[in-house]
Amino acid sequence: MTKTVTPFTVIPKAYAFFDVDDTLIAVKSMFSFQDYWYGRGREPERRKAFEMDMDRLRNENAPWEELNSCYYSHFEGRDAAEVAKMGAEWFAVTERSRPRLYHTKVVERLRQLQADGIEPVFVSGSFPALLAPLAERLQVRHLLCCRPEIEGGFYTGRLLPPQTIGQGKAVALLDFLKEKDIAPACCLAFGDDITDRPMLEAVGHPVVVAGGRALEAFAGTAGWPVMQPR
């Protein structure tokens, strides 16, 4: 008698890539941290120059990549250990003082994906000192983010490639998946801003979080689902 083998479906491992600022949390982490840093008496003489540079670039409608690079240039000379310590403090204070810090529906989706065996990954123009505490809170193991260069324990003001803004997010995502040998078509991505478009286009299952710049309108033409953040 021939034994019948019941067929089964192998579900490929997949990842879900999440933008962070304004997608998972209702704060721009980089600028919130700078306010915290200067507000705690660090580098008071440099604050005005930082704010002038940011205002100038915004008024010029400069690309986000340029604004992002300029932001990190103001870290030149900072002690990396002190920044990490202050980053953890900033997160604790922000979480405690902002009851609506988290976009609850997006966090719920992240939790559900984790329960389904799909691993979340943060993809952000922010940097590890700010993202690591949030990643620990949400049990996220992988960060694809800007990496300010450190030499001798101090920031140089330069960024290591790829810069995870705009197209750089897609580059980092695809490099990550190539290393893991996972097809992008199996994966999801969540973003709120038009600069997240390359990341969302790189995967098989893009999801737009409502509230950002121009991406919702594009989602309508692309046929992408849109979810509310709360």
Query: Could you give the angle at the alpha carbon of 129 between the alpha carbons of 189 and 41, nearest 5°?
Result: 135
What integer pLDDT is reported at residue 5 of this predicted model? 39
Query: Could you give the angle at the alpha carbon of 62 between the alpha carbons of 58 and 66, nearest 5°?
Result: 110
Residues 52/70, Cβ–Cβ less than 8 Å: no
pTM summary value: 0.92
Helix ranges restricted to H, 60-79: 64-73
Digit-coded pLDDT (tens) for 77-130: 999 999 999 999 999 999 999 999 999 999 999 999 999 999 999 999 999 999
What integer pLDDT is reported at residue 12 of this predicted model? 52
Name which CATH class applies to 15-227. Answer: alpha beta
Grade residue 13 by pLDDT with cuts at 50, 70 and 90.
confident
